[in-house]
Structure 1
Amino acid sequence: MLQLPNGVRHSPEYLSRSRQEALVDIIRAIVVEAPLFVPVMPGTGKPMSVRMTNCGPLGWVTDKERGYRYQPTHPVTGRPWPDMPQELLDIWSDVSGYDKPPQACLVNFYSDDARMGLHQDKDEQDLAAPVVSISLGNACLFRVGGVQRTDKSLSLRLSSGDIVVLGSAGRMCFHGVDRIYPATSTLLKNGGRINLTLRRVTL
């Protein structure tokens, strides 16, 4: 049994298949209104391997010139992000243990060769609020460490329907996705993985 860092909780198969399918339909509608875009690293302008979009009052974006930040509009269309669906608000209420609602849901789409390097979620003002992560589609190898990049890390496999909560002492833990396991889920007809992260941004 893996001993996760304090404040990091993994709930395997939290969402039933029917709830997963309903979320995928919701995300498809969000993507129609707020198309997936390729984020780039600050300074270098190097593209990330994931595509992303957001819903809620605020969305997380990054570009070469202005770096990591939250803003109320899509960086390509200039339109406000779609509303946060009730299904995601319900999940937050059920698992977050936090009395204020999330303001952003970052939607990351991972193709089978995508990954995400170790990072901290630290662009939010309200670091008392947890980050709630929802996995849909193909399984991934998730890595989580401590609050310093050099701290020892461990890896666990996340499957479709799993939820991970980074809160309290685990809120600032470094984490990332080392790989996607192709053809491990039939949820997404064209494969890949969707990761939804719910965040509270302002105090």
Structure 2
Amino acid sequence: MAWMPSAKGDRMRPDTSNPLIFRQGSLSAMNIPNILTLARIAFIPLLVVLFYLPFSWSMPVAAGLFGLASITDWLDGYLARRWNQSTPFGAFLDPVADKLMVVVALALLIERYDTLVLTLPALVIIGREIVISALREWMAEMGKRGMVAVSWIGKLKTTLQMVSLLILLALPPTHEFALLGVVVLYTAAILTLWSMIQYLKAAWPHLSRSM
């Protein structure tokens, strides 16, 4: 970046006369981890298109895209920590991208299966994400966001959730292994409720004082 003498002549300040130079600072949030997170959001409309294509290969490819998005979910966090590139923008965007991808996948599967057997755990997972997102924002306003940090239960729930969605997206409902995906999804839904209860118990003393 170019520098210019200040009015006092004894200090230097950034040269803001060149907009191309001055705007470089605003792009600092666009590091590789955040680009991966944005790519995960960009995958969503492609996932929807692949899901509805009337070809035999479209479902496995849609599942593969979802799997790739799941890998970027792990990779962006790993790179942000490894390269010390964590940013407030990334901290905000990463969970948003995760929830969008999962909710869209669940909505697609609800339509495909059209049965309470799959709709019930899907609604449990979606409802939990809404509750915990609101809880984290509320706790952040009180400076207690760490009280609802991700636990090992939440990580296990996320892993099972991704595995179940990968199976269910790849296979038609009539496939014999599709039942395995449903069972894993129910397990993820149970852990979803358990983790939500744990988060609410940890946050309740602070929430009750703010009422």
Length-normalised TM-score, structure 1: 0.25
Higher RCO (CA < 8 A, seq sep 6+): 1
User: Is the helix fraction higher in 1 or 2?
Assistant: 2
User: Is the strand fraction higher in 1 or 2?
Assistant: 1
